[in-house]
Amino acid sequence: MQTFIHYFLHLGFPFFIAYGFFRKDWKKVYLILLATMLVDLDHLVADPIFQANRCSINFHPLHTYYAMIVYVLLLFFRKPFNIIGMGLLFHMLTDFIDCMMMYSNCKDCFLDSPAIELLRTTSKILGI
């Protein structure tokens, strides 16, 4: 179920964002939101490139808290930059949700994760 939720949020939910908020240009906005998936190219610089159960938040260069600040700043620019910022932030949220699902199943598995404090704090707030 976690895999389905993850990919639905990456590929399906952006349609609802595009159609719900940008009905006039929903096709173009949807494609821009899908294009923000290219942020995952930063996974290629990881060693190993793929590791099951790795939380990408604050691990990969374009998934760091510093990068997310830039994504927030993009929201204050004109189209298409604000849409790109929205897509990138939604991508980070999706990856964070995935991290939380993995963390709730095995808290000890993430003790060395760069996002461990965020995971712990969010877990306490949500009562997980």
Q: What is the pLDDT of residues 86-110, one digit of tens each?
A: 999 999 999 999 999 999 999 888 8
Instruction: Please list, in sequence order, all residues whose beta carbon lies within 8 angstroms of the beta carbon of residue 115, skipping any fewer than 6 positions away.
Output: 55, 57, 58, 59, 96, 99
Pick from 119, 127, 122: nearest CA to 59 = 119
Q: Do the Cβ atoms of 68 and 89 come closer than 8 Å?
A: yes
Q: What is the pLDDT of residues 55-73, one digit of tens each?
A: 999 999 999 999 999 999 9
Q: Is the pLDDT of residue 48 over 90?
A: no
Confidence of residue 41 (pLDDT cuts 50, 70, 90): very high
pTM (predicted TM-score): 0.93
Q: Is the pLDDT of residue 34 over 90?
A: yes
Q: Average per-residue pLDDT in the chain?
A: 94
Per the listing, tokens 């199943």 go with 105
